[in-house]
Each structure stands twice: as structure tokens, then as C-alpha cells.
Amino acid sequence: MKTLLPKALRAGDTIGLISPSSHCAYPDKINQAVRYLEAHGYRVKASRYLNCIDTDPAIADRQKLHDIHAMFSDPAVHAIVCLRGGAGATRLLGQLDYGLIAANPKIVVGYSDITALSLAMLAKVGLITFSGPMLATELYEPDPYTEEHFWGMLTSPAYSRSLINYEHHPITCLQSGTVEGRLLGGNLSVVTSLLGTPYFPHIEGEALLFFEDVNEPVYRIDRMLSHVGNAGLLTQAKGLLFGYFSTGTPLPVAEEQRLQYSMEYYSAMLPPDAVAIRGLSFGHIRHMMTMPVGARCKLHVAADGLFSFGTLEAVVRA
């Protein structure tokens, strides 16, 4: 797969803000995130329809598409950060101007529902994007681990070569080994909704799949993983990285065991030389890694959970 790399952020660059999914009911968080970005030496440009609410999807989609295209068209904007996830991004995929995006590759950051944009941009033009913190969910008050990964990934071509899990997120080995492949995934619900469409990247035989989700009961997670397996992704994958499937409160013991069994079950569908882990610092969690979607990576995990992970090449241009 041929990929497009966005240019690394530099102090004084302009960061554009868009809301391609749901709106935020707490505008103070948006203002606080803007102040945070400005305090780090960046200019901030809000899109025309940032955080607008319209219950008519036809109107909402026109506004969201306008803002995405305006940010990619604007030569003064160097990176695009999304407001939050939620819902609605999948409706935009058939109307995005992929030629415009390919001609103006820029940093795009977001996760959860934004997984749809990341995978579509990778599938259509090969753009490396970043599943990472957003304005109204993390950047209004990021913890040190999250902001280190965010700024390191977006500003330094060398940073992504070695990505360290949060110290209190233990890695569970589901299948040990060392592999190389291309990072593909994000929010499991959104990933499964794109399977079988032109907006899911075709990376046969080299995918390092990574998944997370939020507020999904274990039986639904199992159903979605079953769909991934039935679509043939697991038998061709190089690796499987499970992040966090958060619910706001710890799972009951029986449900936690059921989730572990489910992850073991689907990891067993991988080729014998593939690798699988649970516990990656990614998901709807406070201590969050920024993931370069579409990047070639190397992953090693030992049976005791000793873990190393990083890209094989830069994910931003100097």
C-alpha cells in the first residue's frame, strides 16, 4: 500500500477544529481545549459549523462536509483535530472529496466514531491519520501520558519508533512472537460497520488489527469480533491488539472472565506465527496512546507480557 504522510507540526502552526460526529454539550470544554493548544504555541482556527446541532441529517452532513473540505483547502491549516466522537461520521464517506484530501495531506486526529474517517482516508488515498485525543474528551484537560504521546507523535518524525504503554496498563500475552505489519483498526463498532464497503482498507496478509470500544456489553463485543472473523480478517492478520473496552465501572467478575475468554477465542483464529495482546493503552480511557493508523509497525510480545511496539518508518514528514 502506498501511503501519504502529513507534515509534522511546528510551533506557530495553525490547528483547525472540526466536529464531524456528535456535538459537545459543554462548550466550556471546547474553550479550555483551545486555550491548551494556544498555550503550547499553536494558532487555532475553528471551522464555520464547529459544534453546530441540526437534527436533520441532510443539513448536518452539508455542514460537516463543508468544514472538512474547508480545512483541507486552507493552506494556513497544518493539522485538523476533531471535537469528539459519537455518531454521524459514516454518513460522510460517500461525499468526501478524496482528491482534495490527497492533494493536501494533513494531520487528522480523532478516535471513536472518527475511526470511519481514518479508515476511509487510508482506503481511498493512503493518508496516515492518528487515533488520538480530541478537544472535548481529552485535550481540555489531558493527563501527562496522553499529551506526551499526542505531541510526540505529531511533532517528531522519530517519536513513533518506540511507543510505550502506560505504566499501570499491564499487557496480557494472548499469542507470543514478533511480527511486522500495517496498523489497522480503531473503534470496533465502527470497524465492523465498514467491512464490505469501499471505505475499509484492503491490507491482505499484513494487518496489525487494533480494537477498542465503550459501553458495549460483552455479548455484543463477541458478536462484532465474530463478524471480523467471518469477514476473513483474522485468518490473514499479522497481529491483534486489544485496547480497552471501557464501561465506566469495572465489569463483574463473570463478565470480565467472559471477555477474556472471547479475546482468547478470536486470537486463536490468527495464523500460528501472528501475535495477540490485551491491554494496549488505547480506547476511551484517560491514559491514552496516539495510534498512527496505516503505519507499518513492529510488535513483539513475550509469554510473560514483555512488550515492545513501534513504527518501522516515520509517520510525519519533517
For the chain, give the mean pLDDT: 97
Distance CA 24, CA 8 (A): 28
pLDDT at 47: 98
pLDDT at 1: 87
pLDDT at 173: 98
- 108-145 pLDDT per residue, tens: 999 999 999 999 999 999 999 999 999 999 999 999 99
Distance CA 193, CA 85 (A): 15
pLDDT at 134: 98
At residue 29's C-alpha, the angle toward residues 129 and 82, to 5°, is: 15
Homologous superfamily (CATH) of 14-158 is Murein tetrapeptidase LD-carboxypeptidase, N-terminal domain (3.40.50.10740)
Q: Which one of the listed residues 193, 212, 216, 281 is annotated catalytic?
A: 212
Q: Domain locations in the chain? A: 14-158, 160-311
3-class state of residue 159 by DSSP: helix
Distance CA 313, CA 158 (A): 8
- Asked if 170 and 279 touch (Cβ cutoff 8 Å), the reply is yes
Other beta carbons less than 10 A from residue 102's beta carbon: 15
Residue 204 has pLDDT above 90, yes or no: no
Residue 97 has pLDDT above 90, yes or no: yes
Give the torsion through C-alpha atoms of 287, 262, 170, 309, to 10 deg.
-80
pLDDT at 54: 87
| 160-311 belongs to CATH 3.50.50.60 | no
User: Catalytic annotation on 284?
Assistant: yes
Say yes or no: do domains 14-158 and 160-311 share a fold.
no
Tell me the percentage of the chain whose pLDDT exceeds 70. 100
Q: Which one of the listed residues 22, 47, 112, 262 is annotated catalytic?
A: 112
User: Catalytic annotation on 148?
Assistant: no
Distance CA 227, CA 218 (A): 14
Q: How far apart are the first and last CA of the chain?
A: 21
pLDDT at 297: 98
Distance CA 82, CA 74 (A): 16
- Asked if 160 and 295 touch (Cβ cutoff 8 Å), the reply is yes
- 225-281 pLDDT per residue, tens: 999 999 999 999 999 999 999 998 999 999 999 999 999 999 999 999 999 999 999
